[in-house]
Amino acid sequence: MRTIDDYLAELGGALHVRGAVRRRFLRECRDHLADAAAEHGEHEAVRAFGPASEIAAAFDVEVAARRGVRSTFATVAAVLATGGSTLALIHAASTDTTAPAWWAVAFFVGAQVAAVAAGLALVQALVLRRSTMAPAEVVLLARRNGCALVAAGVTMFSAGAAVPGRGSAVVLLAGPVLACAALVAVMRARALARRLDGHDALAVRPPLEDLGRLVRVPVPPLDARRLLLVTTAVAAAGAFARDRVEHGSVGEAFAFAGLEGLAVVVCFLVLGPALGLRRR
Amino acid sequence: MSADLLRGHLDRLLLAVLADAPGHGYELGQRLAERSGGELGVQEGSLYPALHRLERGGLVESAWSAGDGRRRRVYRLTPAGRRAVKASRQEWRAFSTAVGRVLGETG
């Protein structure tokens, strides 16, 4: 006959999660089994609790989801802070410097990728924060967060390389420090999710459907091609309007809109599968 | 009742039994069994991943408590959890009425 200690040893052996959350879970299980054994006997208590491997798998998935959601909030805070640090860096730059074209392109692409990836992760986390999340969903969340943090880093680095200057170390370092902390949280969630069954399943989450679920407004489903078309059109129109507001000529505004559209298409093709926007 | 039928409903069942009073995991399992007349057949171990999920969603909060001389993790509903119970009851009434109509027509 299997005792509570045997069962808990099996449960502990099947769990992937480590640390305080594991100790709390095993403690709760021990308390539960002790109460059940006092009423129904040890054998019945263990039987009614369920197979150790199934319970451990369900708990691991839950902890991975919790870490995924928390690391998303950390990522969004870090991206915003890095944006603030980058603006401070630009304001602290020498007035006579001119940004080389490549650094300027890296800056604009990095900033937009960081905002889009962080936005996608945030919407996914908010939609799924009260639901079960498959390991593949947690891996996707980690990819979106990782992409947002790397792009935020690229944005700040490009700004520093393009327009060097002097600024407050605290303000300039606040963003990167938060980004490093968020990256650790993201890697932790990803590492746990990747140890679970089903982590390698392909996760594609259409962002507009998630957004519709979040704001409770029905959104017509868009396949990847239509999503790209709509996004490119909106981004190009935004770039055109911005250039016109900044007193660019119509020709310059069209060229700017074309570059923006091209950048969106290239980013969608390269990063789309990693961000769960389209299948490979 | 089959596990397939139960899947997806455990969270709302736990919220409903927590609406009566706060409780630790074993106590909640007992209430669930009593209120369902033992028909649901929930694996007791599956309560804990579900309780942690509800905690993640901000519907439930928990703390260690030493009520009868033993430390236990006691769960209670948050204000968001109370609103969720209300919404869940309305949702379930509409769903079960609709399913009942369909099954009644075909059965």
For the stretch A18-76, pLDDT in tens is 999 999 999 999 999 999 999 999 999 999 999 999 999 999 999 999 999 999 999 99
Percent of chain B having pLDDT more than 90?
60
Q: Is B81 on the interface with A (CB under 8 A)?
A: no
Domain CATH code at residue B24: 1.10.10.10
Beta-strand ranges (E) seen in A99-155 are none
| Pairs from A184-188 (Cβ < 8 Å, separation ≥ 24) | A185/A67, A185/A70, A185/A71, A185/A74, A185/A75, A186/A71, A186/A74, A186/A75, A186/A142, A186/A145, A186/A146, A186/A149, A187/A142, A187/A146, A188/A67, A188/A71
Q: Tokens 């009593």 label which residue?
A: B34
pLDDT at B71 over 50: yes
Please tell me which of the candidates B24, B53, B70 has its beta carbon nearest to residue A132: B53
Burial string for A135-167 (b: 16+ CB within 10 Å, else e) reads bbbbbbbbbbbbbbbbbbbbbbbbbbebbeeeb
B93: containing domain: 3-106
Please tell me which of the candidates A31, A52, A59 has its beta carbon nearest to residue B26: A31
Predicted ipTM?
0.87
Window 2-61 of B, Cβ < 8 Å to A: 11, 24-26, 29, 43-46, 48-49, 52-54, 56-59
- Among A217-221, B48-52, B84-88, where is mean pLDDT lowest? A217-221
Count other C-beta atoms under 10 Å from residue A41's C-beta: 12
pLDDT at B1 over 60: no
Specify the number of domains making up chain B. Answer: 1
Q: Which chain B residues are closer than 8 Å to A31 by Cβ?
A: 24-26, 70, 72-73
What is the per-residue pLDDT across A126-176, written as a single tens digit (0 to 9) for each?
Answer: 999 888 889 999 999 999 999 999 999 999 988 888 777 777 788 888 899
Distance from CA of B57 to the nearest CA of A (A): 4
What is the per-residue pLDDT across A219-259, written as a single tens digit (0 to 9) for each?
Answer: 887 888 898 999 999 999 999 998 888 877 888 889 989 99
Q: Is A10 on the interface with B (CB under 8 A)?
A: no
Q: Provide the whole-model pTM.
A: 0.87
Asked whether the beta carbons of residue B53 and residue A59 sit closer than 8 angstroms, the reply is no
Residue of B nearest to A130 (CA): B57
CA A83 to chain centre: 17
